[in-house]
Chains A and B, each alone.
Chain A
């Protein structure tokens, strides 16, 4: 029970930090925010790694392997596409010269 309480504490405080931070993200960056969120929610890969390793190749760890693959799609895909997008945001001066 104690660990559940700690988890609820951590979760609640993190939600509040999230609210504080995200309200300051300008609409300009909302799409990168969402794809970046995809990447960050890929943190499930940590749980997947633990699950995959837990027994001697029964169904349980096979499910873990699939979880690893799905979570890694989010991690790599999410971060790469976010970086690709953010690299396109340029300030005025440079863009003028390029045109």
Chain B
């Protein structure tokens, strides 16, 4: 029977790996996730059967309640709220690991090896940090608490003390496993550390944080696997851990920031936004245009690259944008979408928002694939984005954006901004492109402007 169990877990592990491989292409991704679902079902069913635990009604209730909650959330969640959902789910992964590890700890008979004791502590720590850190990330993304960085006096020293505390309580727990206080102190300290770890990180950096916590939730699952010597947990957790880590790195690269700077830099304070905003040359004038002006120009062009930013999603303008894209295509204009890696509030977020609005994925281009096309493009139409197209990132050495890879919209023949106001982006850096002669500024809510544009295009 042990063979049946182990081979089932092995099969599940292989299927998880194949599923991730199939996520390499949009064509195979859905099928791949179905393999992963099968793998999960297999692992659960075999655990139930082999351990002879189909019986206890409480287990079934636990599964059904959790499954129902998950199902309802998955059905109801708005695509704009995906970052919050992923943040919350990261946290659930964390608490599950903590609970399993504590449950294991409570069953200590006194004969545990050192390995088990140490891995239990590791599991308690990672799981709890993931839980409270994710809850803070969720609260910031959901707007329950302010998105700005919250820095306590001596913040880094406090973090250091908390980590030292965990190590000390961990050693005590290994030496005196029968004293429950040590285990509880580990959890409490880890819980505080999770909070102090995430509160100094600004709202604009949340994509990095949820990717990192995604990684932790995987590591938490792996740690549980270490406790139970269960390979499918270790493998699945390691895959998720690696995934989160890569996404974290990609997000940092896209912002030209080090992970260290994101985690400890407390970037995005109210002060810095104010300073940079006034230093950006407000004296210059911009030319204001209307949706009708834009529609008239569109009659004379052959190629348009649309650059959507989070402002588009806030205004819920994805659907009407797709309608506009269709109208332009019908006029024989070549329409493409340029997606910056940090467009949206989590990795790949903008792609999902546009896919939801029926924009086909083969007109969505990554930054590196489209950046050379701008110079041969008539119009770059930027909707609700700012920092990711700010040329200061190339030239202005003292800019907080300096060095960040941007979309080369300024190489297009005409640049159009649809924006609510002249306000600077998250980085607080004014955009010199607003004042360029070839730039047309259209002020207003993205949805209202594009709706007007669609109307004007239809009338012609």
Contact = CB atoms under 8 A, between A and B. Distances in A.
Interface in B308-349: 322-323, 326, 329, 339, 341, 346-349
Nearest to B242: A18
| Tier of interface size on chain B | 35 or more
Given A37-B244, A43-B40, A91 B95 contact: no
B239 interface: yes
Interface of A: 1, 3-4, 6-7, 10-11, 14-19, 21-55, 57-61, 63-96, 98-99
Given A31-B82, A70-B92, A76-B67, A37 B218 contact: yes
A75 B352 contact: no
Contacts of B33: 32, 36, 39, 79, 82-83, 86
Interface of B: 13, 16-17, 19-21, 23-26, 29-30, 33-34, 36-37, 40, 43-44, 47-48, 51, 53, 56, 58-59, 61-63, 65-71, 73-75, 77, 79, 82, 85-86, 89-90, 92-93, 95-97, 99-100, 102-104, 106-107, 113-115, 119, 210-211, 214, 217-218, 220-222, 224-244, 246-247, 250, 322-323, 326, 329, 339, 341, 346-349, 351-352, 355-356, 358-364, 366
A15 B107 CA distance: 30
B103 A85 contact: no
Contacts of A63: 99-100, 102-103, 106
Given A90-B361, A95-B359, A47 B225 contact: yes
Given A43-B236, A51-B103, A75 B67 contact: yes
Given A38-B93, A60-B107, A88-B356, A27 B99 contact: no
A33 B115 contact: no
A11 B238 contact: yes
A73 B339 CA distance: 31
Contact of B211 (A34, A51, A75): A34
A14 B35 CA distance: 18
A36 B63 CA distance: 19
Contact of A74 (B36, B92, B349): B92
Given A78-B70, A81-B77, A68 B21 contact: no
22 contacts: A11-B234, A34-B347, A36-B19, A38-B93, A42-B96, A44-B237, A46-B47, A49-B59, A50-B230, A51-B99, A53-B51, A63-B99, A63-B100, A67-B95, A67-B97, A68-B66, A71-B96, A74-B96, A77-B70, A86-B30, A89-B26, A98-B358
Residue of B75, B326, B358 most packed against chain A (CB within 10 A): B358
Q: Name the 3 nearest CB pairs between A and B, nearest first.
A: A18-B242, A72-B66, A77-B70
Given A10-B231, A17-B239, A43-B40, A22 B20 contact: yes
A95 to B, nearest CB: 4
B358 A95 contact: yes
B361 A89 contact: yes
A77 B84 CA distance: 13
Contacts of A28: 26, 339, 348, 351, 361, 364, 366
Contacts of A50: 47, 51, 228, 230
Contacts of B362: 91-92
Contacts of A58: 106
